[in-house]
Amino acid sequence: MSEIKVPDLGESISEGTIYKWLVKEGDTVGQGDVLAELETDKVNLEISAEEDGVIASILRQAGENVAVGEAIGLIAAGTGAPQQSSPAAAAEDGAVAVAAPPAAPPAPPAPAAVEPAEDAAGGGASAALASPGARKLARERGIDLGEVSARDPIGRIAQADVESHGAAGAAAPAPAPAPQAKPEPPKPQAAAARQPESGKAVERKRMSRRRLTIASRLVEAQQTAAMLTTFNEVDMTAILDIRKRRKDGFKEKHDVGLGFMSFFTKAVIGALKAYPLLNAEIDGEDLLIKKYYDIGIAVAAKEGLVVPVVRDADRLSFPEIERQIGELASKARANTLSLQELQGGTFTITNGGVFGSLLSTPILNTPQVGILGMHKIQLRPIALDETTTVNRPMMYIALSYDHRIVDGSEAVSFLVKVKELLEDPEALLLEG
């Protein structure tokens, strides 16, 4: 018998939640077969079988939190029926649980005659063969203890035996009380579906581990960082012109589309080089000013926002950046990102414009001290001089920063630098 254990989940992750089991007790599995899916704070991971065998027992169910190294199931060697090697599996099977010990109940025939005295006084020989809870439940349901099969090797009848007997309809009076034992499961559903105060219907849905983590980290960011946001706007005319003229040739040559993210990534890198405190983090009483540029790109996935990281983005070309962002975004939506692709990051870019956001305040992705928010491109009248007004494709951009180490003047200058680089693509190619 071998244990199915929660594998090492990587840096800073010590537990997860069983998302679902892909096998059931009694299934035959081979080494390397995927047994279960585990949800962590960042990604979902698969737990595989380490050897051939039969699923003897599932110890932890879907929805339960489990720690690294904890046993969540058992695998029995060979291909035999696991019910014989798994006490847990045998206990779940009502037929086996009741039929297995029929040799023991011959002792209880005497209680059939003594039962009335037991009901009246609770004493006699039957008192040694049934627990007080079992006697009480039997009286309430009108069940003859002499007809109840005991699972205990010495023949002692427990409350669970009486419940099993009643559920099986072994005694005539049992069917009437049975509905009173089963309202228990519907109660949580009724409570979850309705507000007692107003009586109006609501749906109660358990938050996923990732959503809980997102919630706690966002609250932590607001509570621990002195977060402020500064805004500016960018004239996107030059970039739109380049994309219009070059996108077909770019696609044909590099087999990837020319989007906006490569321009913004390069602009951010150029600004970070000019204002390095935005590429730092606080470590106790020290500042860690990073000399590398791992840019996180926020992606909206089904289970919540994730931020995969483009490593050493300053060394990548435009097509390489576009290709990496496309691949990471696809993995995020398919829930196949690795932990390594989510860890680290020195600065983050988030694009609410794809959802139509005109202006927003992004929250820091701690321990980073800066995050740039992109927004929807919208035609707006711009005054070129005192007499000339034209319509230009404009985008509001927002920089949220940690005021503990970044002064307002530096944050504003950083955002102005991003604006200048985006509005002058030639400078972007030189400095980004």
Catalytic residues: 403, 407
Please, is 350 exposed, middle or buried when counting C-beta atoms within 10 Å of its C-beta (0-12, 13-18, 19+)?
buried
> For the residues of 273-293, what is the DSSP string, one character each?
HHSGGGGEEEETTEEEE-SS-
Residues forming beta bridges with residue 300, ordered by sequence position: 305
Q: Is 194 exposed, middle or buried (0-12, 13-18, 19+ CB in 10 A)?
A: middle
How many CB atoms are located within 10 Å of the residue 354 CB? 12
Using CA atoms, how far residue 76 sits from 18, 29, 54, 80, 155, in Å, is 21, 10, 5, 8, 30
Buried b (16+ CB within 10 A) or exposed e, 286-316: eeeebeebbbbbbbebebeebbbbbeebbeb
Distance CA 271, CA 274 (A): 5
- Distance between CA atoms of residues 138 and 165, nearest Å: 10
What's the CA gap between 420 and 273, in Å, rounded?
A: 14
Contacts by 83-88, CB closer than 8 A, 24 or more apart: 83/25, 83/26, 85/1, 85/54, 85/56, 86/25, 86/56, 86/57, 87/57, 88/25, 88/57, 88/58, 88/59
Other CB atoms closer than 10 Å to residue 174's CB: what's the count? 19
- Identify which of 272, 429, 252, 430 has the alpha carbon closest to the alpha carbon of residue 345: 272
Residues ≥6 apart with Cβ < 8 Å to 303: 208, 210, 211, 335
Which pair of structure tokens corresponds to residue 312? Answer: 């050493």
Give the HSE-up count for residue 164: Cα atoms under 13 Å, Cβ half-sphere.
Answer: 19
The pair of three-digit structure tokens given for residue 4, joined into one six-digit string: 């199915």
Cα distances (Å, whole numbers) of residue 7 to 13, 16, 87, 387: 11, 10, 25, 68
Structure tokens at 172: 């005539």
3-state secondary structure of 232: strand
